[in-house]
Amino acid sequence: MPRREGRSASPGAGDVARHNGGRNRAGVAVQAGQGECPHVSSVDEPARHTLAIARPFRLYHGGVLPAITLAYETWGPSEPCPTLLILTGLSPSAHAASSAEDPTPGWWEPVIGPGCAIDTRRIRVFCFNSFGSCFGSSGPASVNPVTGLRYGASFPELAIEDIAEAAYQALIALGVERLDAVIGPSMGGFSALALTLMHPEFVRRLGLLCSATTSEPFAIALRSLQREILMSHRNGDPEALEVGMVLARKLGLISYRSPVEWRKRFGRRRETDPRSGAAHALDSEAPFAVEWYLDQRARSFAKRFDPDAYLYLSRAMDEFNAEDHGGGHLAPALARLRLEQVLVAGVQTDQLYPPHQQESLAQALGRAGIPVDLHIFDSPFGHDAFLIDWMRFEQPIRKLLDFA
């Protein structure tokens, strides 16, 4: 993997963010600072910038917010060069990779940087924390300026299209007139596709990783059960709510990986770490290693992610359907696109968005006359392969971003 020395965040974004209280040519206030989510107030992300769009924001399903804020990070040259947008899955912040401002490894660290698949020596990269999330962007965890209280369940219904539109407005405010590419894994694939459908002239190339045009019943069923678990623990007791988050996240983690990986990784091994204790009161032995793994990962997540944001984003994923942009049919929706190239990639073991969804999407894009590069990888890591088995995605991403 390329070395990380000399890596720096774009000075251009820093210049924008330093104009605290000012307005750019789009009439949007820009500032630097941390987000509003109480679950992440202690998280130190020094490379994070925030952009306040100080005008009413109309949501896709109705409702209006008086203003919104988006958190973002940026990497790459400040001089004119190709521009890439990364839209995230449900849980990440905007900290996709390290920089001189923040050397902490990001959630897609091996993929972004000098000489990496997303080569920041020649491409300027933006990554936004999704609108509706809780790592600095407006969402249910934000404070309602009218009441002075957190929105919580009073936040308007959230759609994937709102995530896309918020990112679009933020990019325009930052001076980006057209994207050379947008890449989205998982939920980010929905957001990236929605962005191209809503603003077809704004995007040249599109990368969809472990994603699809909509969610099938299996994925909807899993997420609906996660929401039910979480809602069943909303009784005013913060500790009970955290238990609900832990249980919901455990179910999510099971769906993100594959039985193939866990059979090889855990088997029936018991956890011997002295910190593990017993998984349940009735257990006389140490928990199975897979139980310990789920418990530790889920507890860590529950302490840093807002429950309301989880509910809203989860439901938005279930509701998204690209066919809605074509009168209930996919073909007229895709006919709107003006893309030069699309990368569609998935893995055989993805339980949430299995290979047939990527294959059908590639076929539909082809029928629309759009060049498609389809890859279905034989990875054991399931839906999370784009994070863990990133080497398989490296060359297709490089090809998508070859703007020569």
> What is the distance between the alpha carbons of residues 378 and 394, in angstroms, rounded to a whole number?
15
Q: Is 383 a catalytic residue?
A: yes
- Helix 307-319 crosses helix 238-256 at what angle (to 10 degrees)? 40
Inter-residue contact 189 to 210 (CB < 8 Å) = yes
> What is the distance between the alpha carbons of residues 180 and 122, in angstroms, rounded to a whole number?
12
Q: Pick the catalytic residue from 162, 306, 308, 350.
A: 350
- Around Cβ 50, how many Cβ atoms within 10 Å? 23
Dihedrals φ, ψ of 379, to 5°? -105, 145
- Helix 307-319 crosses helix 217-232 at what angle (to 10 degrees)? 160
Give me 260's structure tokens: 């193939």
> What is the distance between the alpha carbons of residues 237 and 219, in angstroms, rounded to a whole number?
29
Give me 39's structure tokens: 């679950």
Give me 11's structure tokens: 């000075």
> What is the distance between the alpha carbons of residues 68 and 62, in angstroms, rounded to a whole number?
15
> What is the distance between the alpha carbons of residues 302 and 31, in angstroms, rounded to a whole number?
29
Dihedrals φ, ψ of 337, to 5°? -75, 150
Q: Pick the catalytic residue from 39, 233, 325, 383.
A: 383
> What is the distance between the alpha carbons of residues 95 and 379, in angstroms, rounded to a whole number?
25
Dihedrals φ, ψ of 92, to 5°? -75, 160
Q: Is 283 a catalytic residue?
A: no
Q: Is 186 a catalytic residue?
A: yes
Q: Pick the catalytic residue from 186, 211, 255, 258.
A: 186
Instruction: Please give the positions annotated as active site.
Output: 186, 350, 383
